[in-house]
């Protein structure tokens, strides 16, 4: 059976967040075929035991030391068999339709190399940092000088977080921070 999405989560001492994240994935998977990898970077908070007991289907990679975020992701990426891969931070709660929306978008746009979601703060506000313009001296100047805050809707000044774009529409962005 082909796997639709491989989800990779790197964990380090955030057991409560990780548990909530895994529960949210459970609610969002619906009929999708997914595999989940948790790469634990030598947590001492009981994260590994929680995953083993509460989520026995999760592929748990237990590192003997903290090898860092990138290297830990690469451990799981080498094993991932999904058509698509989602790198997810453990403090993220995905909505019930997120995985389906992302998969459907990628299926409809096969030349797309990567996608990211609109990130929402716990209070429901949009995380402007979830999209970034290409870093140039001008973009840095508008950010440091405050012009990007004074004129966020004007393309010339709002390039740092691309605030001239609506957060509610699909947009091509130059960079992203991820959750």
- pLDDT for 102-114, tens place per residue? 999 999 999 988 8
**Which residue carries 């508008």 as its tokens?**
142
- Domain range spanning residue 52? 5-108
131: pLDDT strictly greater than 80: no
One domain, residues 143 and 86: no
Mean predicted confidence (pLDDT) in 74-83: 98
- Provide the β-strand partners of residue 40: 11, 62
Residue 57 CB neighbours (<10 A):
10
Residues 6+ apart with CB under 8 A from 145: none
Q: Are residues 51 and 98 in the same domain?
A: yes
Mean local confidence (pLDDT), 79-104: 95
Same domain, 18 and 96: yes
Element of type H or E holding 7? strand 5-11
Same-domain check for residues 80 and 55: yes
DSSP assignment, residue 128? G
Residues 20 and 87 in one domain: yes
What's the chain's length in residues? 179
Indicate the helix (H) or strand (E) that contains 155. Answer: none
Mean of the per-residue pLDDT values of the chain: 91
Q: Are residues 30 and 93 in the same domain?
A: yes
- The verdict on residue 148 lying in a domain is yes
pLDDT value of residue 110: 92
Q: Does residue 24 or residue 165 have the better pLDDT?
A: 24
Q: Are 89 and 9 within 8 A, CB to CB? A: yes
In a domain, 113, yes or no: no
User: What value does the mean pLDDT take over residues 33-45?
Assistant: 98
Together in a domain, 26 and 102: yes
pTM across the whole model: 0.84
DSSP class of 89: -
């Amino acid at each position: 059976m082909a796997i639709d999405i491989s989800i990779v989560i790197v964990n380090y001492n955030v057991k409560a967040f990780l548990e909530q994240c895994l529960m949210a994935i459970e609610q969002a998977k619906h009929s999708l075929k997914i595999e989940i990898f948790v790469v634990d970077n030598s947590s001492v908070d009981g994260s590994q035991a929680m995953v083993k007991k509460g989520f026995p289907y999760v592929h748990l990679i237990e590192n003997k030391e903290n090898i860092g975020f990138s290297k830990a992701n690469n451990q799981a990426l080498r094993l991932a068999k999904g058509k698509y891969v989602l790198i997810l931070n453990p403090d993220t709660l995905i909505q019930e339709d997120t995985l389906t929306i992302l998969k459907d978008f990628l299926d409809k746009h096969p030349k797309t190399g990567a996608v990211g979601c609109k990130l929402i703060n716990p209070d429901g506000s949009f995380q402007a940092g979830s999209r970034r313009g290409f870093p140039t001296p001008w973009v840095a100047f508008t950010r440091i000088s405050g012009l990007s805050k004074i004129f966020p809707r004007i393309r010339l000044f709002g390039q740092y977080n691309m605030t001239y774009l609506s957060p509610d529409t699909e947009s091509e962005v130059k960079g992203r921070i991820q959750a």
